[in-house]
Amino acid sequence: MKILIAEDDDSLAAALVEVLRQYGHETTRVARGSDVLLQHHGIEVLLLDLGLLDEDGFETLRKLRQVSDVPVVIVTAHGDERSTVRGLRLGADDYLVKPVRTSELLARVDAVTRRRAIRASVDEPVRVGDLEIDLRARAVSFGGEPVALTTKEFELLAVLARHPGAAVSREQILDEVWGDAYAAASRSFDVHLTQLRAKLPVTGAITTIRGFGYRLES
């Protein structure tokens, strides 16, 4: 797997490169956000620190999401809830707090990329009132106007859209979107679901089924 590491700490970056190469990954390290924007083409996952040499990692992520949906795992010392929520809302797929155990890092990298190859869908568009979800084009619109969603927000909605009117378990969503039904990504899931609901113009489009999961009302 081709992994780009954006990390300003030389010793930590060297350790990450060594570990990932030991497990067969092809790695490139940069220390500037500007280099991320130049070198993200062709990579399969980005490990992004929030403290880069030339700019805040959040700004790098914001710029990257304007041009690419490459999976991004934030790896940072900032473990506060505000930073976590901000990173996920800007489009990060996962968020890890340093120090990171090798086994967890490898598992998260695998999880955010595992299902990438099967995400392209040939399903017909799903309509909920004036809301249209085009699974093949990965586009959402309401009354003909586009609704801007992050990659993870769309993928979460797509799981529900493939079963309109049917109950979908929380574990199934975690499995299809994050690659692990019982992953520690549940916090990420909650943030993305809250943000998705806030962006959908249809009030109550996603119903919570207490103790089980969710349903996209048809």
| Residue ranges of E strands in the chain | 2-6, 26-30, 45-48, 72-76, 94-97, 126-128, 131-134, 139-142, 145-146, 167-169, 206-209, 213-216
Domain 2-114 has CATH 3.90.180.10: no
Whether 121 shows a pLDDT value over 80: the answer reads no
The secondary structure of residue 131, as a DSSP letter, is: E
Alpha-helix residue ranges (DSSP H) falling in 69-169: 81-89, 102-114, 151-161
Give the helix, strand, coil percentages of the chain, each rounded to 5.
40, 20, 35
What is the topology classification, in CATH, of domain 118-216? Arc Repressor Mutant, subunit A (1.10.10)
| Nearest one of 16, 45, 27 to 113, comparing CA atoms | 45
Q: What are phi and psi of 181, to 5 degrees?
A: -65, -20
Looking at per-residue pLDDT, the higher value among 180 and 57 belongs to 57
Asked, colleague to colleague, whether 2-114 and 118-216 share their fold, the answer is no
Residue 65 has pLDDT above 50, yes or no: yes
What pLDDT was estimated at residue 123? 63
Q: How confident is the model at residue 149 (pLDDT cuts 50, 70, 90)?
A: very high
Better pLDDT: 198 or 116: 198
Calculate the dihedral angle through the C-alpha atoms of 72, 50, 199, 170, rounding to the nearest 10 degrees: 50
Q: Is the pLDDT at 167 greater than 70, yes or no?
A: yes
* Mean pLDDT in residue range 91-101: 92
- What percent of the chain stands above pLDDT 70? 92
Give the pLDDT mean for 157-179. 86
The structure tokens listed for 161 are 């859209």
Residue 2 CB-half CA count within 13 A: 7
Name residue 97's beta-bridge partners.
76
Residue 84 reports pLDDT greater than 80:
yes
* Separation of alpha carbons 27 and 22, rounded Å: 11
Where along the chain do its domains lie?
2-114, 118-216
174: number of Cβ within 10 Å: 22
Residue 214: band (very low, low, confident or very high) from pLDDT cuts 50, 70, 90: very high
Q: Mean of the pLDDT values across residues 172-197?
A: 78
Whether residue 148 has pLDDT greater than 50: yes
Q: Where residue 186 falls among pLDDT bands split at 50, 70, 90?
A: low
